[in-house]
Amino acid sequence: MTDLGTYTKPLAYLGLFTLATTTLSLIRQATIFLRPSTLLKTYNPTRKNWALVTGATDGIGFGFAQELCARGFNVILHGRSVEKLQRRQRELQAEFPDAKLGYVVRNSQHVTADIDGVDAEVGEILGGGKLTVLVNNVGGETRPATLLKEYTFEDVRDTVSRNAMFAIQITRVLTRRLEVDAPGLVLNVSSVAAFGLPYISAYSSSKGFVDSFTKSLRAEFAAEGNAVEVMGLRVAEVSTSGYDVKSNLFVPEARVLAGASLDRVGCGQEVVWAYFWHWVQGLSFDILPRWLMLKFATMKLKAIRTNMEAKAKST
Ligand SMILES: NC(=O)c1ccc[n+]([C@@H]2O[C@H](COP(=O)([O-])OP(=O)(O)OC[C@H]3O[C@@H](n4cnc5c(N)ncnc54)[C@H](OP(=O)(O)O)[C@@H]3O)[C@@H](O)[C@H]2O)c1
């Protein structure tokens, strides 16, 4: 007969080992938030360098532009409306009189070969200065809470283009410049949706692309010995015009999220939760089984869908 007692000790040691490694990993991750990084300065020691932020006329992108100016960068805004870009540029100039500003116009939903011209436009704005930071922020769902079969050809193309295609193309175009002006930094704004959520499959999979792009480009720069750092930023709910929810502890304002993202620079992770309370929410993805997470996500996205249907009927 087997003595059951012989299993007790190994199991207890295994349990203790698991507990210790989980606790250590959580402490290590939490430290990232306890000690905001100051490494962003590495990319702007002279306070004369430039950052380019895509989708910078609103929401998190405008928050990045404000926070980068506040931290001594000159900033190139990207957007699709000249009028809105000029308005945002004036607002930034009023808040940060010492900052140099410029803008480039491209519609990220319709990426064409003229994206190659961005490098020359950026060169003109820099006037001999250095571009050391690129924030790939532009994105968002074009048709939230929609079944894939309800999308048109254009819906899928626009969502993927806005969230994935534009980021990889503009990064390709600006990479040589970032390498020459190194040390450089590429920040890619991702989403909790990258976990693979229902009712937003085009958006969700585009953000999955962004995460893979972050990891592969980071590995490519490292393999080539280039001093360009790449980091992905995982984001949950943020109060923006594109995502109309009231801010609270778990739903920060856009600028708070942008500031938190810049505080994570140099933390060593490939893809990091930018904001502490998003990280806390994200722990449930590690701990709870996927089927349970999907139950919560489905309830939430179905409720959004019902609301949208009710709104559409009332108009
Ligand atoms: N807000 C959230 O809860 C949340 C959660 C997870 C991830 N994210 C991610 O965070 C990023 C920013 O989201 P957000 O909520 O700040 O969005 P937002 O408030 O809608 O702002 C989006 C920005 O991108 C620009 N933009 C949108 N479509 C464009 C196009 N076709 N061509 C050029 N520019 C375009 C917008 O320009 P206009 O001013 O012309 O519209 C605006 O400047 C996105 O990548 C999003 O996926 C957001």
Domains in the chain: ranges and CATH: 37-288 (3.40.50.720)
Contacts 24+ apart (CB under 8 A), 285-289: 285/192, 285/195
Contact 279, 252 (CB under 8 A): no
- Is 81 a pocket residue for ligand 1 (Cβ < 6 Å)? yes
- Is 140 a pocket residue for ligand 1 (Cβ < 6 Å)? yes
Determine the atom of ligand 1 nearest the C-alpha atom of 207: 47
Which residue, by CA, sits nearest to atom 25 of ligand 1?
A: 55
pLDDT single digits (tens) 86-105: 999 999 999 999 999 999 99
Average pLDDT of every residue of the chain: 94
**For range 114-119, the mean pLDDT:** 98
**Residue 56 alpha carbon to ligand 1 centre in Å:** 8
pLDDT single digits (tens) 235-286: 999 999 877 788 999 999 999 999 999 999 999 999 999 999 999 999 988 8
- Is 88 a pocket residue for ligand 1 (Cβ < 6 Å)? no
- Is 137 a pocket residue for ligand 1 (Cβ < 6 Å)? yes
The yes-or-no verdict on residue 2 having pLDDT over 90 is no
**Residue 180 alpha carbon to ligand 1 centre in Å:** 29
Integer Cα distance of 268 and 179 in angstroms = 19
Torsional class of 266: left (φ above 0), alpha (ψ -120 to 50), beta (otherwise)? left
- Three-state SS for the chain is CCCCHHHHHHHHHHHHHHHHHHHHHHHHHHHHHHCCCCHHHHHCCCCCCEEEECCCCCHHHHHHHHHHHHCCCEEEEEECCHHHHHHHHHHHHHHCCCCCEEEEECCCCCCCHHHHHHHHHHHHHHCCCCEEEEEECCCCCCCCCCCHHHCCHHHHHHHHHHHHHHHHHHHHHHHHHHHHCCCEEEEEECCHHHHCCCCCHHHHHHHHHHHHHHHHHHHHHHHCCCCEEEEEEECCCCECCCCCCCCECCECEHHHHHHHHHHCCCCCCCEEECCHHHHHHHHHHHHCCHHHHHHHHHHHHHHHHHHHHHHHHHC
* pLDDT value at residue 1: 52
Which residue, by CA, sits nearest to atom 38 of ligand 1?
A: 57
* Structure-block tokens of residue 220: 């490519």
Integer Cα distance of 105 and 78 in angstroms = 6
Angle at 177 between CA 175 and CA 180, to 5 degrees: 110
* pLDDT value at residue 4: 62
Q: How far apart are the first and last CA of the chain?
A: 75
Contact 188, 214 (CB under 8 A): yes
**For range 57-76, the mean pLDDT:** 98
**For range 57-70, the mean pLDDT:** 98
**Residue 88 alpha carbon to ligand 1 centre in Å:** 15
Alpha-carbon distances, residue 189 vs 43, 57, 106 (angstroms): 19, 15, 18
- Is 237 a pocket residue for ligand 1 (Cβ < 6 Å)? yes
| Percent of the chain surpassing pLDDT 90 | 77
- Is 135 a pocket residue for ligand 1 (Cβ < 6 Å)? no
- Evaluated on CA atoms 231, 253, 250, 209, the torsion sign reads negative
Of residues 300 and 158, the one with the higher pLDDT is 158
* pLDDT value at residue 58: 97
- Is 184 a pocket residue for ligand 1 (Cβ < 6 Å)? no
Which residue from 53, 54, 57 has its CB within 8 A of the most atoms of ligand 1, so it is best to mutate? Answer: 57
Determine the atom of ligand 1 nearest the C-alpha atom of 238: 3
* pLDDT value at residue 286: 81
**Residue 137 alpha carbon to ligand 1 centre in Å:** 7
Confidence of residue 36 (pLDDT cuts 50, 70, 90): confident
Confidence of residue 29 (pLDDT cuts 50, 70, 90): confident
* pLDDT value at residue 243: 76
Residues facing residue 221 across a β-bridge: none
pLDDT single digits (tens) 122-172: 999 999 999 999 999 999 988 888 999 999 999 999 999 999 999 999 999
**For range 13-22, the mean pLDDT:** 88
Confidence of residue 24 (pLDDT cuts 50, 70, 90): confident
Contact 169, 111 (CB under 8 A): yes
| Percent of the chain surpassing pLDDT 70 | 98
